[in-house]
Amino acid sequence: MPEVEIGHVSDFFAHPVVAGIELTGTLRAGDTIHIKGHTTDMELTVDSMEIDNAAVTTAKAGDAIGIKLEERVRRGDKVYKVTE
């Protein structure tokens, strides 16, 4: 499926497993994203995201969001939105 780069991982926290993502594009709850890096390759649907600890359903370029993950990611990993 086609993918569009919409940001990169800027931070990672292990407990709980949360990635901080700097966006260069728009992201909505329900979107499918693909996080890819040297050792990272995961696809997931964004169930929820936060900006400054407040839940949001949409985020835009320039926003720094946090999303919960199942696995570890690394700073610098690219974030793509999977388009249909």
Six-digit token string for 81: 């939105």
Contact present, 50 and 66 (Cβ < 8 Å): yes
Q: What is the pLDDT of residues 41-77, one digit of tens each?
A: 999 999 999 999 999 999 999 999 999 999 999 999 9
Six-digit token string for 78: 């690219």
pLDDT of residue 7: 98
Six-digit token string for 15: 């407990």
pLDDT of residue 38: 96
Taking the C-alpha atoms of residue 38 and residue 61, their distance in angstroms, rounded to an integer, is 24
pTM: predicted TM-score of the whole model, two decimal places: 0.94
Give the helix/strand (H/E) hosting 60. none
pLDDT of residue 84: 77
Q: What is the pLDDT of residues 25-40, one digit of tens each?
A: 999 999 999 999 999 9
Domains located in the chain, CATH noted = 3-82 (2.40.30.10)
Six-digit token string for 36: 């890819």
